[in-house]
Amino acid sequence: MQTASTTASTAQPSTTHHRIAIIGSGFAGLGLAIQLRRRGEHDFVVLERAGDVGGTWRDNTYPGAACDIQSHLYSYSFRPNPDWSRVYASQPEIHAYLREAAIDEGVMPHITFDAELLESTWRPERQHWVLETTAGRFSADIVVSAAGHLSDPKLPSIPGLERFERPMFHSAQWDHSFDATGKRVGVIGSGASGIQIVPELAKTAEQLTVFQRSAPYIIPRVDHEYTDAQKAMFRRMPETAQALRDELFWGNEARFPQRRGIADFIAKIEATALDHLAAQVPEGELRDKLTPDYLIGCKRILISNEYYPTFLRDSVALETGRIVEVSERGILTATADGGTVEHELDALVLATGFEASDLPITHRIFDADGRSMADAWTRGGAAYACSTVAGYPNLFIMNGPNSGLGAGSIIYIVESQIQYILGALDFLDGTGASTLEITQEAQDRFVDSVDARAADTVWLNGGCHSWYVDERFGRLTTVWPDFMHKFRRESGRFRPDEYLVDGEPAEGARSLEGVSA
């Protein structure tokens, strides 16, 4: 069996050329690599900055880490797993699924580990990309960025954070040498990671203080283990697992009208969330603090059965006062009378999310004139079909602008983008063309259509601040503001008509279907 350590390469002084370079080995990068292998493509490399595959499911090893999308939907359609242990899989199980897929599908030999991308530049004279990495220099005719939304931890902008003298770490960089037993622990953040971490820390911490900026909406987690009989049925009759997957998919699709702010749908899901809160927390000050003050769906709706009851422990406190600053030994929050109070802590956990709007990878990708993609996005993340960017030939982005979801499985989107990229490769192979580049006009039309759909969603009109919206420009740049099946219909099949092919308009070019993922 191959492992990350046995396939890692060392820095090399010369340039290694491949037809295709994929940046990242999470669900997106691995999924594309698997499909390339299945098609008989061997001239590709996966550049992975860490020492193992798995992306966010490799990095997020905090206590209680689990998925909030059902396992049978949050997995590749082309690689079903009949042996999921429960409805919502935990982090170790998802990571194991990805590692097994990489090994079984023969992808591991294509991965260069410990190869963080430092800079990628388009060289028009050679019609390829040059990629500088910590493992040496590579070049590729085609580059696919599969770095993902949830790749780079976001640290809170709080005065004095660097002064804290005691253990402090981000949820995505968990310090497993840390033992909370008998300690006073603070957690900043009450999002998807925070609500999983808090119940676990509360089991051993002497005092746990949760610093909440805004209360999340939380609905019940309808979870259970799959029996041996059910797993045997999924194995013997794969059509039953597919039927379950279909049911879960359309169940998630049915949730999208909530994000449109349609009154009946909003009322129903809001009642579910507030009834869940009322059932678990008695009426009074604590329930008031845990009650959101914005339209449901504006921020991510969370699922948990353990989070609310955790605050009924005498050793757990919910602090909603504004954080003024961090001191050497704790956090100072504002009081109603204009003063401050210090919460002395032995450790601090930052459950503060990721750099999802201003994607760090875009600061490392440069066009022929040396302009970074981040600088090219003068009004926030923008890509045609959520996959290609004007001015950056032969470059595809997975999990880029407007490809995230507020409801549903991102794996469906990933597989749609795989279809798109494979269709582009088929077009290049079929025509003998060397380069593809989306026109600025086509990109602008597509982005304008996405913005128009986003305008009447709760993400922009729900009265909250969330990582879905790029606050620099006031645009919804992270999530897709429509049904998942419409994403696939619009952005899951490559159409060359709007592209420049070898620098010329592709008028009348034949549209190829690509290969289904």
Do 169 and 269 lie in one domain? The reply is: yes
Whether 168 is covered by a domain: the verdict is yes
Domain end: 321, 350, 379, which one?
Answer: 350
Task: List Cβ<8 Å contacts ≥24 apart for 465-473.
Answer: 465/214, 466/298, 466/299, 466/300, 467/154, 467/353, 467/354, 467/356, 467/357, 468/299, 468/356, 468/404, 468/406, 469/357, 470/357, 470/358, 470/380, 470/381, 471/357, 472/357, 472/358, 472/380, 473/379, 473/380
Q: Domain check: are 171 and 304 in the same one? A: yes
Q: Please count the structural domains in the chain.
A: 2
Q: Are both 406 and 500 inside the same structural domain?
A: yes
Q: Is residue 512 part of a domain?
A: no
Last residue of a domain, one of 306, 335, 350: 350
> Where among 317, 350, 383 does a domain terminate?
350
User: pTM value?
Assistant: 0.93
DSSP-assigned letters across all residues of 296-319: TTSSPPEE-SSHHHHTTSTTEEEE
For residue 79, what are the domain limits?
Answer: 4-152+355-439+478-505
Identify whether residues 98 and 62 lie together within a single domain. yes
* 510: in domain: no
pLDDT at 13: 61
The verdict on residue 115 lying in a domain is yes
Q: Is residue 462 part of a domain?
A: no
Same domain, 143 and 18: yes
| Per-residue pLDDT at 6 | 40
Say yes or no: 309 and 430 in one domain: no
CATH number, domain containing residue 326: 3.50.50.60
Q: Are residues 131 and 193 in the same domain?
A: no
Q: Could you tell me if 31 and 102 lie in one domain?
A: yes
Specify whether the backbone of 300 is left (phi greater than 0), alpha (psi in -120 to 50) or beta: beta
* Same domain for 134 and 100: yes
Assess if residue 446 is contained within a domain. Answer: no
Q: What is the mean pLDDT of each run of 10 residues along the chain (517 residues)?
A: 42 82 98 98 97 97 96 97 98 98 98 98 97 98 92 91 96 96 97 97 98 97 97 97 96 89 90 98 98 94 98 98 96 94 97 86 96 94 97 96 92 98 97 97 97 94 89 92 96 96 75 36
Q: What pLDDT, on a 0 to 100 scale, did the predictor assign at position 466?
A: 87
> Is there a domain that residue 404 lies in?
yes
Same domain, 362 and 342: no
State whether 207 and 339 are in the same domain: yes
Residues 183 and 54 in one domain: no
Q: Is residue 247 part of a domain?
A: no
pLDDT score at 32: 98
